[in-house]
Amino acid sequence: MIWAVLACGELAPAIEAPYALDVHVEELRVDEGPILLHVDAPAAEGWTVEPAISVPEGLEAELVDQSDGTWTFAFSGEPGSYVVPPVVATVTSPTSEVTQIQSENIYVDLAVEGPSSTLESLAVLEPGELPVWPFVLFGSLAVLGLAGGVIWYLRREEPAVDPVVEPGVPPDVEALTAWTKAQEAGLDDHALALEVSRIFRRYVERVSPHPATALTTFELVARLRNDAAFSAFLEPAKGLLQATDRIKFARESGTAEQFAQFGEDLRAIVIATRLAPPESA
């Protein structure tokens, strides 16, 4: 049995805290069956650690066991060599301070020997004279690129206004109207899930100081947890932000009931947090 224990790197300012993150696989290469990934994230009383995994394309992941501070995921799929991205854990202190820690990449082989790094029997070539034509070619391309840039600058047009953002439309009206149009557009499950997340991020950015469209899901959730207006809706907010992951990675099919729930959650959050209309002069 091979154990690959990974060091942790921090994504956010550290908190003085009794917590840890240990991510390892039982075997780096398996001939049959799933690759088992263990996440050990113990924390002292009053602290919480919530790990999240990313699934490489070609694999599927299933949570097969969970106990106090330990999660076990089974990865299965097509034979091949894969890079499992870092596990990111969100840590919350008893005083609601939030930070994130992450593991390193894990390189695994499923039913294959894996890439070889052997350099044996390779001939050693003597250095020769450098050819001139690459310099001529790159010089010509640089001149053409510079000329093209000048032409573009002289002929450029003012950027078009984002058709979704209509001047004077309140954030709540914009968000609910955009969701109605998205449902009527005939989008597939993944595109519709992506759209509800985008609409929610756009709404949060308009009614709060949070740059929601520029933050990761973990960063935005951490901010909403400490936001008086949104903290009561943390779970439905996380559902809207993670809608795409649920459809793509969790092997869930987007059902009418699921998207109806997304719509109900969006409407409930918007109605509860929308800005008061400006007073008439």
Q: Residue 88 forms beta bridges with which residues?
A: 52, 102
Tokens of 63: 């949570």
pLDDT per residue, tens digit, the chain (281 aa), is: 333 334 444 444 444 556 677 888 878 788 877 888 888 888 777 778 888 888 888 788 888 888 878 889 888 888 888 888 888 888 888 888 888 888 888 888 877 776 544 444 444 445 556 676 777 777 788 888 887 776 765 554 433 334 345 567 899 999 999 999 998 988 888 888 889 899 999 999 999 999 999 998 889 999 999 999 898 988 988 888 887 666 655 445 567 888 888 889 999 999 998 876 554 44
- Residue the block writes with tokens 């947090």: 273
Q: How confident is the model at residue 276, as a pLDDT?
A: 63
Structural domains in the chain plus CATH codes: 9-110 (2.60.40.10), 171-273 (no CATH)
Dihedrals phi, psi of 93, to nearest 5 degrees: -85, 170
Q: Spell out the residues 6+ positions from residue 205 whose beta carbon is closer than 8 angstroms to its own.
A: 211, 212, 213
Alpha carbon distances (Å) from 69 to 5, 22, 43, 49, 266 = 16, 10, 7, 8, 32
Q: How confident is the model at residue 211, as a pLDDT?
A: 93
Q: Residue 50 forms beta bridges with which residues?
A: 90
Q: How confident is the model at residue 267, as a pLDDT?
A: 92
The predicted model scores a pTM of 0.42
Q: How confident is the model at residue 127, as a pLDDT?
A: 57
